[in-house]
Amino acid sequence: MSDNKTVKVTLVKSTIGRLPAHKACVSGLGLRKMHQTVSVIDTPENRGMINKVSYLLKVEEA
């Protein structure tokens, strides 16, 4: 599959005081700092993590 679709994900709210599972999802997406943007491959696994912490993220289809 050479045409992997990606999603741009930006952390817009802090993970301080969040559930450990939600912090794990944010770090699993590769986000470390506020307002950091990363591109992740659009897989069901990544979509699940994005949906779980959607209240912390801004998501753009790329």
How far is the C-alpha of 45 from the C-alpha of 31, rounded, in Å?
16
Q: Is the Cβ–Cβ distance between 25 and 52 less than 8 Å?
A: yes
CA-based max dimension of the chain: 39
| pLDDT (mean) for 18-33 | 97
Give me the phi and psi of 55, to 5 degrees please.
Answer: -70, -10
Domains contained in the chain, CATH given: 6-61 (3.30.1390.20)
Tens digits of residue pLDDT in 3-22: 789 999 999 999 999 999 99
Counting residues of the chain whose pLDDT is more than 90, the rounded percentage is 92
